[in-house]
Amino acid sequence: MRTILGTIALLLMGIAVQAQTPICKPDTTLADTLFGVFPIPYSTTNPMGGIRDTACINTPFEYSFTLKVPSTFTVAGTQVPVTQASLATTGAVKNLPTGLSYACDPPNCVFLANTSGCILLSGTPTDPAQVGQFDLQITGSISSFITIPVTFPDANGTLFPPGNYFLYVRPQGSPACTPSSTQDLAATRLQLSTQPNPFSDLTEVSVVSELRGNFDFRVFDMTGRMVHRNPVQIVQGINRFTFDGSQLPPGLYVYSLTDGISSIARKMVKE
């Protein structure tokens, strides 16, 4: 009997621990003075904002927003206390492609004042007819003296920065995508960046690598069309080379590094 009771207790403890396991982690690098939804949206004044990962048809996808709730906010010049921000556990993220959904941490999607939480988009886009651009919106409310409906991004820029959360969905196997294996590689074996970003004509590509060998450096526009390709020799440690984008029109581009087995991709903006 004791053995059976002990087994049941362990199972219940395991379920409890599993229920408390966070599904995503807030961005802890954000300054304490910043509040709202992060990253802030893409806009002409903030070209590096918005969703910086690309989804692929039939490829698992994850992306996390951080939500930081203040204790007060200002409306028409008056400071108003905040008790919590919240969103519905379903239907609050508008315009998601088929196959993607969201979940919150905390699970009830209620974020108390002076706390941070996150919203995780996840799933697998499955409909090839949905290749294209999705303009996502997050709807919720702020509780104060009254309940105030809010939308991120804020089209009027009244409470929060205006702009767009564009999610790009590409065909299966598109090199413009960043699947989970690529993110794991980026975190453990390769670090890829450009400076400056945004850039006008020239930008320096920096690669910090634990790998060595022959790689392809490729640049794609947001339709998935390759607009540049050149071979590069990567050594262990720090690698730098210059990319000349003077012939490209202004816009958002994906640049990648691949050895034919592993790849890593990032985004850059041509002004």
Domain boundary residue among 141, 170, 199? 170
Whether 76 shows a pLDDT value over 80: the answer reads: no
For residue 186, the SS3 value is helix
For residue 265, the SS3 value is strand
- How many folded domains does the chain comprise? 2
Report the 10 Å Cβ neighbour count for 35: 21
At 265, which CATH number?
A: 2.60.40.150
Whether 88 shows a pLDDT value over 60: the answer reads: yes
What pLDDT score was predicted for residue 188?
A: 59
What pLDDT score was predicted for residue 182?
A: 42
Domain boundary residue among 170, 190, 210? 170
- Is residue 144 situated within a structural domain? yes
Torsion of CA 39, 40, 43, 47, to 10 degrees: -40
Whether 259 shows a pLDDT value over 70: the answer reads: yes
| DSSP per-residue codes, 86-112 | E--SSS-EETPPTTEEEEEESTT-EEE
Residue with tokens 């413009």: 176
Which residue from 16, 22, 20, 18 is spatially nearest to 66, judged by alpha carbons? 22
Higher-scoring residue by pLDDT: 21, 141 = 141
Q: What is the pLDDT of residues 177-196, one digit of tens each?
A: 654 434 444 445 778 899 99
Which residue from 149, 154, 156, 174 is spatially nearest to 164, judged by alpha carbons? 154
Which residue from 70, 88, 87 is spatially nearest to 79, judged by alpha carbons? 70
Q: Are residues 75 and 148 in the same domain?
A: yes
Q: Are residues 97 and 187 in the same domain?
A: no
Whether 129 shows a pLDDT value over 90: the answer reads: yes
Rounded-to-integer distance, Cα 25 and Cα 27, Å? 6
Per the structure, the complete domain to which residue 147 belongs is given by 36-170
Q: What is the pTM of this model?
A: 0.62
> What are the angstrom distances between the C-alpha of 144 and each of 112, 116, 161, 265?
11, 18, 21, 42
Average pLDDT for residues 146-164, to the nearest whole number? Answer: 84
What pLDDT score was predicted for residue 11?
A: 42
Residue pair 111/143 in contact (Cβ under 8 Å)? The answer is no
What pLDDT score was predicted for residue 115?
A: 93
Rounded-to-integer distance, Cα 186 and Cα 184, Å? 5
What pLDDT score was predicted for residue 9?
A: 42
| The amino acid at 121 | L
Average of per-residue pLDDT values in the chain: 81
Rounded-to-integer distance, Cα 21 and Cα 64, Å? 16
What pLDDT score was predicted for residue 51?
A: 85
Q: Are residues 149 and 207 in the same domain?
A: no
| β 263-270/226-234 pair status | unpaired
Residue pair 72/80 in contact (Cβ under 8 Å)? The answer is yes
Q: What is the pLDDT of residues 187-226, one digit of tens each?
A: 457 788 999 999 999 999 999 888 788 888 989 887 667 8
At 102, which CATH number?
A: 2.60.40
Q: Are residues 154 and 250 in the same domain?
A: no
What pLDDT score was predicted for residue 18?
A: 40
For residue 47, the SS3 value is coil
- Is residue 7 situated within a structural domain? no
pLDDT band at 20 (very low <50, low <70, confident <90, very high): very low
Residue pair 59/52 in contact (Cβ under 8 Å)? The answer is no
- Is residue 51 situated within a structural domain? yes
- Is residue 19 situated within a structural domain? no
Which range among 55-64, 70-79, 223-232 has the greatest average pLDDT? 55-64
Which residue from 144, 135, 139 is spatially nearest to 37, judged by alpha carbons? 139
Domain boundary residue among 170, 198, 214? 170
